[in-house]
Amino acid sequence: MKITDLKCAILGNNPVIRITTDEGVVGIAGGETYKPYLKPMILFYRDLIVGKDPTDVERVMLGIRRLGAFKPWGTAVSMIEMALWDIAGKVAGVPVYKLLGGKIRDRVRVYNGNIRFPLEGNQPEHYAQAMQKMKDLPERFSIIKQAVAFHDSMYSNVDKFYYGTPVTEGRYPNRGMLTEKGFKHLLKCVEAMADVLDDEVGLALDCGPGMTVGDALKLAKAVEGMNVTWLEDMITGDYTPYVLSDLYLQVTPYTSTAIHTGEQIYLRQNFIELIERKAVNIIGPDPADVGGLAEMKFIAEYADLHGLLFAPHGTGDGLLGLAALVQLSATLPDNYIAFELPSGEPKWWFEILNGIENLIVQDSHIVVPDIPGIGITFNEQETIKYLREDDQGFFDN
Ligand SMILES: [Mg+2]
């Protein structure tokens, strides 16, 4: 079997790919909804994979893996990897989880960092109101993640929040020391959310990156005993093109609050320090950024050997990412906590995929489907309606 083409389209805002073969089997995968600009980068890999056997996933990956980087530049390689597993599963007639070692759970836990409600302000009551709405969702999420500090608008909307000048355009890396006023405000907001969730639902907080080492430890110690499931990306993290394990090592050993990072990191090699030095308690790579599903599996197993937990990122990965995360998470060792539920935006995403109806959340879990490949396929007739003009050939051959 040989790969005949790699096609990319932007659906909604998600980059999506089809890898076609000379035997008619097709693999699909998607990337984050924030990355429509990646299409030319994705197509760069076409000539590097055409002619290869897609069912020898690792052999294909060896040819392209080094041509990627930290978020957002690992997405193309990651998508190709996931689409290859989709093909390999379809050819073997088994779900992808069988090829990743087999499932050890029949349903996988998800957490909510996606179905959010607009904050009416940055005061404690606003965070509490939003948290109540998320707690009341019919999915009955067992962990809910909220952005605070440098990861939401708190750093710019709360007067004198930190010793710095906020820049709100683009992805400017705002960072700095919190003022005492800012720190107390942050803590009041966390307390208000924790009060709503009580001990029924875990509270995860996406905090940065941008906090100083000192503030990170101060926050971690202040929330001890408050049912905070983890503090995410306080120092480095989202869109940080490096790891800096040493900084986390000044925090993690000195608090009982779980410290989490890793969504921007590309490839297993870049997790070695975090894992071996136990610089954080929980790592959360994203399959659409880290290099794909087998990459995730390797990292999760290595983390487990060192006592680290695993809570994959995924909020922007779209419904193709959702399907892939379900397959992967079924196979992860017991250091698995939950993955971050992605959604389909716009909502017509739910109408263009066959099999998506199997991936509904009940009681914070999704039942793992037994359909060959990643378990969903495009309904081409429906999807064509949403293809952009320059993507019209997406379903040709
Ligand atoms: Mg995050």
Give the pLDDT of residue 397: 80
> Are the CB atoms for 52 and 344 separated by under 8 Å?
no
**How far is Cα 330 from Cα 182, in angstroms, rounded to an integer?**
41
Task: Point out the residues of the chain with pLDDT beneath 70.
Answer: none
In the reported structure, the alpha carbon of residue 232 is separated from the centroid of ligand 1 by a whole-number distance in angstroms of: 6
In the reported structure, the alpha carbon of residue 367 is separated from the centroid of ligand 1 by a whole-number distance in angstroms of: 25
Q: Which CATH architecture has domain 3-95+379-391?
A: 2-Layer Sandwich (3.30)
In the reported structure, the alpha carbon of residue 379 is separated from the centroid of ligand 1 by a whole-number distance in angstroms of: 32
**How far is Cα 42 from Cα 358, in angstroms, rounded to an integer?**
29
In the reported structure, the alpha carbon of residue 285 is separated from the centroid of ligand 1 by a whole-number distance in angstroms of: 10
In the reported structure, the alpha carbon of residue 113 is separated from the centroid of ligand 1 by a whole-number distance in angstroms of: 9
Q: How many CB atoms lie within 10 A of CB 164?
A: 15
pTM > 0.95: yes or no: yes
| Fold annotation for 99-372 | TIM Barrel (3.20.20)
Q: Tens digits of per-residue pLDDT, 68-100?
A: 999 999 999 999 999 999 999 999 999 999 999
Give the pLDDT of residue 171: 86
**How far is Cα 365 from Cα 109, in angstroms, rounded to an integer?**
4
In the reported structure, the alpha carbon of residue 238 is separated from the centroid of ligand 1 by a whole-number distance in angstroms of: 6
Q: Tens digits of per-residue pLDDT, 346-374?
A: 999 999 999 999 999 999 999 999 999 99
CA atoms within 13 A on the CB side of 202: 18
CA atoms within 13 A on the CB side of 31: 29
Give the pLDDT of residue 93: 98
In the reported structure, the alpha carbon of residue 257 is separated from the centroid of ligand 1 by a whole-number distance in angstroms of: 17
Sorted by where each begins, the domain ranges of the chain are 3-95+379-391, 99-372
35-40: Cβ within 8 A, 24+ apart: 35/72, 35/75, 35/316, 36/10, 38/72, 38/75, 38/76, 39/8, 39/9, 39/10, 39/15
Give the pLDDT of residue 170: 85
> Are the CB atoms for 349 and 12 separated by under 8 Å?
yes
In the reported structure, the alpha carbon of residue 33 is separated from the centroid of ligand 1 by a whole-number distance in angstroms of: 15
In the reported structure, the alpha carbon of residue 45 is separated from the centroid of ligand 1 by a whole-number distance in angstroms of: 28
How far is residue 212 from each of residues 121, 154, 190, 233, 284, measured CA to CA in Å? Answer: 25, 16, 18, 11, 21
